[in-house]
Amino acid sequence: MRFPSAPVWPLLPASATLVFVMCSAGCRQPTSPQEASAASLANPPVTVRQTFDCLRAWRAQGSYEAMRSYVDQDAGEDLTDLLIVVDELLAANAGAQQAIHRTCPQLDTRQYDLSYLEQYMSMFSKDVTYIRDVQKGDEAIITVQVADRIPLMDLRFRRQHEPRGQPGRWVYVPGQSMPELVPLLRDVARILDQVTLVLSASKGMGPEDVRHEFEVRLRPGLKRIAAAAQVPRH
């Protein structure tokens, strides 16, 4: 997963590219979580494409236990932890957005909106277009486009053989993880909740007051996230 610096949020340093790499090979077919049918969830996925669709649908529903058997076991726990904390962060962000609008309706809340992170979550991004899949033996690459961005993204899958001749299942193989981001992101979610409480209890805060509240409370946490993301990976 790749978390970029905020396009409009001045509190996040421009150099803070937050990286959690969870992947990194016809006719384009859009795939959203809502498009995965209930029938595909009731039956175990067989093909790599079915696995891809089910994983996205399960993630959208918060069915992380269902995902577990279809993610490489070496990375499954880190991936689940990250997805859960991103859910927490987005929920806290939504609450803060509502509080800003109630407290200071003339302020453009997009300055403080972190919902863009939904488009930087690799195969679990909000808008993903399936392009193709290429299989070679027990390995497969699904190529997708996220939110109309270029370059395209390759997602790796591997066939996991089952005992006693049972058909193998395809599992998603994330790339390098950064588990240290989880507590840092959770801390930002907690701070956003605090900001929401302050704004909800205030009477007549102006735009500069709101900006000050966000800057004082959030800047240290965002700097810690930026520093963690810049640590070399081996």
Q: Which has more pLDDT, 53 or 35?
A: 53
**Secondary structure of residue 112 in the 3-state scheme:** helix
71 to 67, 168, 170: CA distances (angstroms):
7, 13, 8
Question: Residue 119 contacts by C-beta under 8 Å, 6 or more apart in sequence?
Answer: 125, 126, 127, 146, 147
**Secondary structure of residue 35 in the 3-state scheme:** helix
- The reply to whether 148 falls in a domain is yes
User: 50: left (phi > 0), else alpha (psi -120 to 50), else beta?
Assistant: alpha
Q: Is the pLDDT of residue 177 over 80?
A: no
Encoding tokens for residue 141?
Answer: 């690459």
- The reply to whether 234 falls in a domain is no
Dist. CA 155–CA 136, nearest whole Å: 14
Look at residues 154, 157, 166 and name the one whose alpha carbon lies nearest to residue 138.
Answer: 157
Q: Is the pLDDT of residue 22 over 80?
A: no
- The reply to whether 62 falls in a domain is yes
Parallel, antiparallel or unpaired: strands 29-31 and 128-136: antiparallel
Encoding tokens for residue 231?
Answer: 């640590």
Peptide bond preceding 232 in cis form (omega within 30 of 0): no
Q: What integer pLDDT is reported at residue 88 of this predicted model?
A: 96
Q: What integer pLDDT is reported at residue 42 of this predicted model?
A: 60
Q: Which has more pLDDT, 172 or 37?
A: 172
The secondary structure of 195-223, three-state, reads HHHHHHHCCCCCHHHHHHHHHHHHHHHHH
Domain that holds residue 99: 2-229
Q: Dihedral of the CA atoms 9, 10, 13, 15 (nearest 10)?
A: 70
Residues in the chain: 234
Query: What is the total count of domains within the chain?
Result: 1
Q: Which has more pLDDT, 60 or 23?
A: 60
pLDDT digits (tens, 9 = 90+) for 188-210: 999 999 999 999 998 778 999 99
- The reply to whether 128 falls in a domain is yes
- Mean pLDDT is highest, among 27-36, 97-106, 170-179, for 97-106
Q: Is the pLDDT of residue 227 over 80?
A: yes
175 pLDDT tier (thresholds 50, 70, 90): confident
pLDDT digits (tens, 9 = 90+) for 113-159: 989 888 888 999 999 999 999 999 999 999 999 999 999 999 999 99
Q: What integer pLDDT is reported at residue 124 of this predicted model?
A: 95
Q: Which of 44-48, 56-60, 176-180, 183-187 has the lowest mean pLDDT?
A: 176-180
Per-residue pLDDT, averaged over 73-95, amounts to 93
